[in-house]
Amino acid sequence: MNRFVIITAAGPDRPGIVAGITRVLYKTGCNIEDTSMTLLRGEFAMMLIVKLPQRLKVQDLEHHFKAVKKSLGLALLMKPLSVKEARRNKKPAGHPFILSVYGSDHPGIVYRVTRLLTSRAINVTDMNTRVIGPVRKPIYVMVLEVEIPEKVRIEGLKTALRTLQKAVKVDMALHPVESAQF
């Protein structure tokens, strides 16, 4: 029996979306766990891991969302998760690095960069991209947080990225996430 669900939702931005969604969760006895929400252009996009109360089925929860979905114009998707799938504190698969990629916008930047990462078993854990600059000469900016496995040699990876940089005509920088536990 799945006791968790991941909800993804998006809708035109306005005050009250988070309150509208979490009101339903509160009323139905759900417990909100990890979430990430952000504004992309005019759309507010949300991802929430929610713990379901005993006896509440995912289908029933979907039914409870009907009214708020309509009033806020939301697209909503629910995926049940097992306890194992929803478990916390997954051990990181490597060292955290930030990869910034930027250049004149053209199709294929994201794919060609992430294809290189996946070929080395490097996992993307967080990612943001934006089109910036003038409409006629748009610039693409992408920042990825990745986990680089122990066995990957950073110098070798940097060489591969430099080669790709020339082929895709973008600029790139890779550096370890600077953080400290005090």
Partner 1 sequence: MAVQKIIQYPHPILKSRSETVQTIDERVVRIIKNLLDTLTASPGVAIAAPQIGEADRIIICDVSGKIKEKNHGRIILVNPLIRHREGKKIFREGCLSVPDYTGNVSRADKVWVEGLDQEGRPIRLIAEGFEALALQHEIDHMDGILFLDRIASLSTDIFRRKTY
Burial class from Cβ neighbours inside 10 Å (0-12, 13-18, 19+) for residue 50 reads: buried
Shortest spacing between CB 130 and partner 1, in angstroms: 5
Out of 27, 70, 84, 88, the only residue in the binding site for partner 1 (CB under 8 A) is 88
Q: Is 91 among the residues that bind partner 1 (CB under 8 A)?
A: no
Instruction: Considering only the stretches 20-28, 69-77, 107-115, 139-147, report the one whose residues sit in contact with partner 1 under the rule CB under 8 A.
Output: 139-147
Phi and psi torsions of 27, nearest 5°: -65, -30
Nearest-10 crossing angle of helices 109-119, 154-168: 160
Residues 8, 31, 38, 82: which binds partner 1 (CB under 8 A)? 38
- The residue (of 67 and 127) whose beta carbon lies closer to partner 1 is 127
Is residue 82 within 8 A of residue 2, CB to CB? The reply is yes
95 binds partner 1 (CB under 8 A): no
Tell me whether residue 181 is exposed, middle or buried, using C-beta atoms within 10 angstroms of its C-beta: 0 to 12, 13 to 18, 19 or more.
exposed
Backbone angles phi, psi at 155, to 5 degrees: -60, -40
Q: Which of 89, 91, 137, 150 binds partner 1 (CB under 8 A)?
A: 89
Candidates 17-25, 54-62, 77-85, 141-149; binding stretch for partner 1 (CB under 8 A): 141-149
In the bound state with partner 1, the residue whose beta carbon lies nearer, of 135 and 180, is: 180
Q: Please give the biggest Cα pair distance in the chain.
A: 56
Query: Cβ of residue 4: shortest distance to partner 1, in angstroms?
Result: 18
Binding segment for partner 1 among 19-27, 59-67, 101-109, 123-131 (CB under 8 A)? 123-131
Taking alpha carbons only, the member of 72, 60, 74, 5 closest to residue 27 is 60
Minimum Å gap between C-beta 141 and partner 1 is 7
Query: 């250049």: which residue's tokens?
Result: 103
**Where on the chain is the footprint of partner 1 (CB under 8 A)?**
36, 38, 88-89, 126, 128, 130, 141, 143, 145, 177-182
